[in-house]
Structure 1
């Protein structure tokens, strides 16, 4: 991507419109790429593509490598005769076209995929076998883990029978040998996920559009990554986490945020030359052109909380691997297109790490307008090596913020950005981002459409109702595309 001025839109796959309950890699995804091209955008940013579990968060996945089967386009199976439209209609995938019902998707889309698998497995045996061995480094662990989860009624691996909790045990080896069909269903999901995603990504790339992916710093407690690699996590003799992740109390949360992810055993990882991380980055750059590292500051210092704590208040800062990790990454993989999510409480050491890495940090325009003090997020304080966002998946929409924020802060934003109701407050914010010196400017699809907080994607530290927003099929118009293209041209993006 380099440092040329450019812009783009943040919208996750799940938020695309469509007929099957959740956004997918089908026709609407290609229409969205066409919209990006028409509006002269060079970047499509998405959230992590991993398979989601309890809470539906893409930042808490069963695997740091596997893709979410929910995104597989069912129309491909219908067109190939593997499935009929009437059969799909027999399953309720949700009645609200503007919200994802993850409970129904989990229950019914997976049933549909199993029907297709039973019908095609004998015809695809060779293709699935070749795909498995091409990706065996991560795919064996994932497919075996998911089959074992099914065997244990989808309970967390921490509650499995003791011998199944150890990947090299005799019981696991016997299970793998005796349940090949159950395991190969999960290989089938990854085969079609990768096949469809590669096709969509290539379509975008041919139109000059980069895909910006998102890499969560941590992995979920209930994941193939922890189950299969217990030695590189800070676990006790019973394979339970000793400590977990989060962030300390701040202006947004009096008790901090308790994320609950196991903490890495960085000293052990260093002895292994960060092998697991190198493989993770290699895999990520097969999926994406650019990678945003979530919670970048955790590589310098991370907030560590005792396992079992009720909140994140009583934690402590622990030093991370620092610049030596990124030097190793560069040695192994060369220069990588990375965006560092450096939001939140920053120290001089974190700023130093960011500077040494050379990665651009993030500026969120919505955070800029504290009327009481100067802010690094105000555009006049930017250098070129940064990425400016009108907001992120964790924020209110611009319209929502203007309705709920302190009136003095809103008035400051109005004066600073010269917000005009005729132009649209959301468009004034987009103009503020596009006109800045930041080499890359991103707006959310919700802000582009001028939605209020009914379009908000996530409220941090809450469970339920998040990650479910979907765009209407009629939302994208030539008028919006032309207006954004005009603004992009004016500001040379």
Structure 2
């Protein structure tokens, strides 16, 4: 953490594509790298690259390891090299066989959850799995080919990004989906009953935002088993992530200090309890594996002193969201004057409204109060650089400038904010299941002088 950087938040599915298809790892990804370089941006942050369930949320994936096949370019077969694939299969990723088998059975079972499969598949009876594998070898082989090609394309993208001075910043949900290859293949690592159903599930307790709390429903880890085997599963997971990214955010970092456990029979999160987690021991092991420990703690929300101590013990940067910084309360960690060096500061995240959408939702008094705090700095920077006067008082630029000029060593701006887009363009509305995760930009939305404007502001802020 010895340099000041600025970056952009954009999931690859939000890249432009033809015929209304989600973004893919095709030439558009490389065009975006070129645009970033011309704008002086040196971090590309994205959401988890894993394959989502039907709700499209990348935070509920069918595998914590496999990349999303929807990211494959339409012509992905031309990237396939038989000789290299053979070598890949001789030294496969540890998760590949279980993932391919899981997805093949899942398709065969009309995408039913593995908990509803016939017992011989559900309980992984070896004879039944062997017969199924032999009878469905073509399907299983294609799934492996897709992961091989995805990995090759991704690592080429990462190498080219790094060569341009751009770091890739990934995201890791702390929990995994119950209906996933991970739980099916490693049931002993989770708190399940004899019939392989969760005994307790994840969530957060009631708070200002929700009277009944949030019942996420992910299975809880069996931390004792994990600790007894030296956190093998976690070490493999983090190693895989850090082979794909230069930096990784741990979503819900709070859950590495204590987790809210809810009896699986409960319909809400109200009657859960906090249970201590051996996160210190886990991070100590990860620190041995990765001395630099390039992780970021997502520490938004109500954070205890114990969570802060754990984050600081390992020197992990936390997060700050400027949209949250205007409630007038003292010691608000998101306010302009409470920014810290070892952090990643955002105008907003994938869970926030766009900055224009957020600002437009405020009443006139609040808007005026926000602009009174932002305008002086923004206008002085704009005048000094000889930029368009409107950047000094027209949202989202005053908030972007405040982020760039902050002490935080890393500042990330969602692409929607750079494009000056309003609320309907946001990526996700938490607590809803319809219409999320599908936003895409088009190059027609990118003003010709936008990269130059961003470049001037980035360099002005010594990033």
Q: TM-score range by the shorter chain?
A: over 0.9
Provide the C-alpha distance between the structure 1 equivalents of 2:268 and 2:161, rounded to a whole number of angstroms: 42
Matched residue SS, 2:299: coil
Match of 1:67 in 2: 67
Deviation at 1:302, TM superposition (A): 1.2
Q: Please list the CA deviations of residues 198-255 of structure 1 after superposition, one character each: whole Å capped at 9, or x if unmatched.
A: 1222211110000001011011111000000000101011100111111222233333
Q: 2:197 pairs with 219, 234, 240, which one?
A: 240
**Which aligned pairs between 1:71-470 and structure 2 lie closer than 5 A?**
71-77=71-77, 80=78, 126-405=83-362, 407-418=364-375, 422-423=390-391, 424-470=394-440
Contact 1:366–1:398 (CA<8 Å) still a contact in 2? yes
Of 405-414 and 449-458, more deviation after overlay is shown by 405-414
Q: Note if contact 1:365-1:390 (Cα within 8 Å) is conserved in structure 2.
A: yes
Which of 428, 440, 446 is the aligned partner of 1:476?
Answer: 446
CA drift at 1:62:
0.6
Q: How many residues align?
A: 449
Would the aligned equivalents of 1:132 and 1:139 in 2 still touch at CA under 8 Å? no
**RMSD across aligned C-alpha pairs, in angstroms?**
1.7
Residues in 1 aligned to 2:418 and 2:82: alpha-carbon distance in whole angstroms: 45
Which range is displaced more, 406-415 or 43-52? 406-415
Deviates more, 1:167-176 or 1:364-373: 167-176
Stretch moving more, 376-385 or 127-136: 127-136
Structure 1 residues 203 and 125, CA gap change in structure 2 (3 angstroms)? closer
Q: Secondary structure at the match of 1:303?
A: strand
| Distance in 2 separating the partners of 1:354 and 1:412 | 33
**Maintained 8 Å contact 1:255/1:312:** yes
Deviation, structure 1 residue 154:
1.1
**Residue 336 (structure 1) shift:** 2.0
- 8 Å contact 1:55–1:464 — kept in the other structure? yes
Q: Within 2, Cα distance between the matches of 1:129 and 1:284?
A: 23
1:50 aligns with 50
The two structures have a TM-score, normalised by structure 1, of: 0.88
Q: Contact 2:331–2:338 (CA<8 Å) still a contact in 1?
A: no
2-side partners of 1:136 and 1:36: how far apart? 31
**Deviations 1:437-487, CA, capped at 9 Å, x for gaps:** 000000000111111111110111211110010002212233110110000
C-alpha displacement at 1:135, in angstroms?
2.4
| Structure-2 separation of matches of 1:273 and 1:408 | 55
1:3 corresponds to 2:14: no
Could you say what secondary structure the match of 2:94 adopts? Answer: helix
Determine the C-alpha separation between the residues in 2 that align with 1:383 and 1:76: 44
Cα pair distance change 1:180/1:136, threshold 3 Å: farther
**Secondary structure of the corresponding residue to residue 390 of structure 2:** coil
**Runs of 5+ unmatched residues, structure 1:** 83-119
Query: What residue number does 2:384 align with?
Result: none
Q: Distance in 1 between matches of 2:447 and 2:213?
A: 41
Deviations 1:420-445 (A, max 9, x none): 79222101110010000000000000
Q: Which residue of 2 aligns with 1:90?
A: none
TM-score (norm 2): 0.93
- For 1:23, the equivalent position in structure 2 comes to 23
Deviation at 1:411, TM superposition (A): 3.2
